[in-house]
Amino acid sequence: MAHGRKVVVTVGASGISPALLEEIDAALKRHELLKIRLSNSDRNERQQQLALICDHSHAHSIQRIGKVGVIYRRGEPARIDLS
């Protein structure tokens, strides 16, 4: 489902800020399924960043390949049919 989608949000060198978390929340309201580029070079820190984003946005981490993570939060009404 995420293969054809483009990265919508990039976490830069300054890390995760309140403004970035607000942008992710707004993007999830529009898209439900979201690709995020995590620029950090440390694998464990990228995983922690993705977990923090998911915790804050009440989303689920679907996949992480390299520096790109995919998260999902069901919208109201749902736009993506998972059945």
**Helix H segments across 1-83?**
18-31, 43-57
C-alpha torsion angle, residues 13, 35, 65, 60 (rounded to 10): 100
Query: Among 34-43, 63-72, 73-82, whose mean pLDDT is lowest?
Result: 73-82
Cα–Cα distance measured from residue 52 to residue 2, given in angstroms and rounded to the nearest whole number: 21
CATH annotation of 7-63? 3.30.110.60
Per the model's pLDDT, the better-predicted residue between 72 and 14 turns out to be: 72
Rounded percentage of the chain residues whose pLDDT exceeds 70: 93
pTM of the model: 0.87
Is the dihedral angle over the CA atoms 63, 67, 72, 73 positive or is it negative? positive
Q: Hey, what amino acid is at 17? A: S
Q: What is the pLDDT of residue 49?
A: 95
